[in-house]
Amino acid sequence: MNIPTDVSRRNFLKNSTGLAAGLMAASSTISSAAPARSPKSSYRGDYAAPKIDTVRVAIIGVGARGSGHIKQLAAIEGTEVVAICDLYEDYANRAKGFCDEAGQGERHTNVKLYHGQENNWKKMLREVKPDMVIIATPWEDHAPMAIETMNQGAHAFVEVPLGLTTKELWDVVDTSEKTGKHCMMMENVNYGRVELLYLNLCRQGIIGDLLHAEAAYIHELRGQMNEVERGTGSWRTYHYANRNGNLYPTHGLGPVAQYMNLARGDDNFGSLVSYSSPAMGRALYAEKNFPADHQWNQLAYRGGDMNTSIIKTTMDRTVMVQWDETSPRPYTRLNLIQGTKGALASYPTRVALEAGVPGATKDHHSWAEGEKLEAFMAKHDHPLYKRMGELATRMGGHGGMDFLMRYRMVDCLRTGTPLDQNVYEGAFWSAVSELSEESVAQGGAPQQFPDFTRGNWKSTMPLGIID
């Protein structure tokens, strides 16, 4: 769902002072203390919901990201797309066409369309009663829509981030615990070939005890500002202008957090410090590419172009997380994990081991990469990738990671097994944004992570190496 037509909401998003003030007011009340769990709620760390033979799927928001979700989910065995909701009728009809193309036999033959009114998604939930709801809308909608979805009896699968404030994240966690419904933040990068490979290598102990990780989302996206009426830039630009911190941490953080078993038995998020560079690039881009009286030239851009945060875990391990969607620079997620016996890193994919990589290097003083690394990768590829990598690559979606994620979401619901990413991980990874904003505002002062598991992370199983 792209940009709202409701006048008051549109004005709120365009009012830079209102958005900034609202977020800063929320961040000023951050507390690491966990609210009491409701007596009728249960911890959901390793939760497996009852099996669903045929997963009835609905989606809210079928713009660029949402249309990709529905196109592939409609093609996965064991699904039935039952409803599509978007503000725009042409987007909803386009998504319905994807279902028609992917339909097999009686599947996807009665897809209900909802469009035009901002709250039609609520009507859809009440009328259709789906099993699974995909939420691919602007960031500020994620938590409210996930909460209502679970309260209406469906599992929620939410685009990143899971929520914008600690309060929202607690509300999502509490609703999942109360309703017994999954709420997974769809971090697709965890399903990339290299990320799955590194998870497997870490589980095998090939780089020894884990010490430090580096994660990033450095992706020059100034061109999105040309999406003025519809599309990502039409609403994200206000976030970039009004907030100062790491606004998009999860693509880099999600994989390394799972390598390190954070919030899963071994270790957990402790505290964070954060600093931002000057804010220059967005204002310069607006000045160069838009008329002086254009709305983008009326904003006072305050979000630093580059943010660097350091997380300290409860075991005193460290994670550097960087974010920059503005500066002219090649794409990278860093994806580095350092152990006592070696290191794994990306961009390019490379491995350094103290004992050397067979057939490639003799020790850790040089990287194994390129063609010399292929045999090592093939030997240690994650079993899921070995089984489904060729199909995933053919189906596409960021090199196949999107398809693997969507396949696993459906497969876990159909088999009644725990999801690969639980609601607490989504909350921890998303919390970096607000904590970084607060740390930057306080000159780099440390911020404590709330423990969204209320101590139960210690008994939560690490993510298994499934096939």
Beta-strand pair 336-339/318-324: unpaired
Q: pLDDT value at position 189?
A: 98
Q: From CA 143, how far away is CA 165, in angstroms rounded? A: 9
Of the candidates 238, 231, 161, 185, the residue with the CA atom closest to the CA atom of residue 421: 185
Q: pLDDT value at position 109?
A: 82
Among 16-20, 43-47, 77-81, 454-458, whose mean pLDDT is lowest? 16-20
Sequence-ordered list of residues with C-beta below 8 angstroms from that of 181, at least 6 positions apart, any chain: 49, 149, 150, 153, 154, 155, 156, 175
Last residue of a domain, one of 150, 165, 185: 185
Q: From CA 343, how far away is CA 360, in angstroms rounded? A: 15
In a domain, 66, yes or no: yes
Q: pLDDT (tens digit, 9 = 90+) per residue, 228-263?
A: 999 999 999 999 999 999 999 999 999 999 999 999
Quick check: 138 and 235 in contact, CB under 8 A?
yes
Q: pLDDT (tens digit, 9 = 90+) per residue, 141-191?
A: 999 999 999 999 999 999 999 999 999 999 999 999 999 999 999 999 999
Q: pLDDT (tens digit, 9 = 90+) per residue, 218-234?
A: 999 999 999 999 999 99
| Same domain membership, residue 162 and residue 290 | no
| Same domain membership, residue 206 and residue 174 | no
Quick check: 236 and 224 in contact, CB under 8 A?
yes
In a domain, 27, yes or no: no
Q: Which residues pair with 339 in a beta bridge?
A: 210, 342
Give the CA angle between residues 123, 125, 128 to the nearest 5°. Answer: 95
Q: From CA 138, how far away is CA 1, in angstroms rounded? A: 7
Beta-strand pair 269-276/336-339: unpaired
Q: pLDDT value at position 104?
A: 56
In a domain, 14, yes or no: no
Q: pLDDT value at position 31?
A: 85
| Same domain membership, residue 207 and residue 119 | no
Detail the DSSP E strand segments found in 121-166: 132-135, 155-158
| Same domain membership, residue 299 and residue 158 | no
Q: pLDDT value at position 102?
A: 82
Is 465's pLDDT higher than 80? yes
Give the CA angle between residues 296, 297, 300 to the nearest 5°. Answer: 90
Give the CA angle between residues 390, 391, 396 to the nearest 5°. Answer: 100
Three-class DSSP category at 132: strand
Is 19's pLDDT higher than 70? no
Last residue of a domain, one of 130, 153, 185: 185
Task: Look at the block and give the residue holding tokens 């210690």.
Answer: 458
Is residue 5 very low, low, confident or very high in pLDDT (cuts 50, 70, 90)? very low
Q: pLDDT (tens digit, 9 = 90+) per residue, 384-439?
A: 999 999 999 999 999 999 999 999 999 999 999 999 999 999 999 999 999 999 99
Q: pLDDT (tens digit, 9 = 90+) per residue, 275-328?
A: 999 999 999 999 999 999 999 999 999 999 999 999 999 999 999 999 999 999
CATH number, domain at 152?
3.40.50.720
Q: pLDDT value at position 148?
A: 98
Percent of all residues in the chain with a pLDDT value above 70, rounded to a whole number: 93
Torsion sign, CA atoms 72, 169, 446, 261: negative
State the total domains in the chain. 2
Is residue 107 very low, low, confident or very high in pLDDT (cuts 50, 70, 90)? confident
Three-class DSSP category at 131: coil
Quick check: 274 and 435 in contact, CB under 8 A?
yes
CATH number, domain at 398?
3.30.360.10
Of the candidates 127, 126, 170, 178, the residue with the CA atom closest to the CA atom of residue 152: 126
Is 3's pLDDT higher than 50? no
Is residue 62 very low, low, confident or very high in pLDDT (cuts 50, 70, 90)? very high
Three-class DSSP category at 100: helix
| Same domain membership, residue 271 and residue 177 | no
Q: Which domain holds residue 331?
A: 190-459
In a domain, 372, yes or no: yes
Dihedral pair phi/psi, residue 368, rounded to 5°: -90, 125
pTM of this prediction? Answer: 0.94
Beta-strand pair 112-115/79-86: parallel
Q: pLDDT value at position 200?
A: 98
| Same domain membership, residue 208 and residue 164 | no
Dihedral pair phi/psi, residue 173, rounded to 5°: -60, -50
Buried-state track 202-228, b at ≥16 Cβ within 10 A, e below 16: bbeebbeebbebbbbbbbebbeebebe
Quick check: 73 and 101 in contact, CB under 8 A?
no
| Same domain membership, residue 344 and residue 448 | yes
In a domain, 21, yes or no: no
Of the candidates 73, 70, 72, 71, the residue with the CA atom closest to the CA atom of residue 55: 73
Is residue 108 very low, low, confident or very high in pLDDT (cuts 50, 70, 90)? confident
| Same domain membership, residue 246 and residue 106 | no
| Same domain membership, residue 415 and residue 274 | yes
| Same domain membership, residue 122 and residue 226 | no
Sequence-ordered list of residues with C-beta below 8 angstroms from that of 309, at least 6 positions apart, any chain: 245, 246, 249, 272, 273, 274, 275, 320, 321, 322, 432, 435, 436, 439
Is 4's pLDDT higher than 50? no
In a domain, 202, yes or no: yes
In a domain, 301, yes or no: yes
Of the candidates 323, 335, 338, 319, the residue with the CA atom closest to the CA atom of residue 449: 319
| Same domain membership, residue 294 and residue 238 | yes
Output the average pLDDT for the chain.
Answer: 93
- The encoded tokens of residue 370 equal 């390129």
In a domain, 112, yes or no: yes
- The encoded tokens of residue 280 equal 């220059």
Last residue of a domain, one of 185, 218, 242: 185
Is residue 271 very low, low, confident or very high in pLDDT (cuts 50, 70, 90)? very high
Q: pLDDT (tens digit, 9 = 90+) per residue, 315-367?
A: 999 999 999 999 999 999 999 999 999 999 999 999 999 999 999 999 999 99
- Other C-beta atoms closer than 10 Å to the C-beta of 406 total 28
Omega before residue 348 within 30° of 0, cis = yes
Q: pLDDT value at position 29?
A: 55
- Greatest distance between any 2 Cα atoms in the chain: 65
| Same domain membership, residue 141 and residue 259 | no
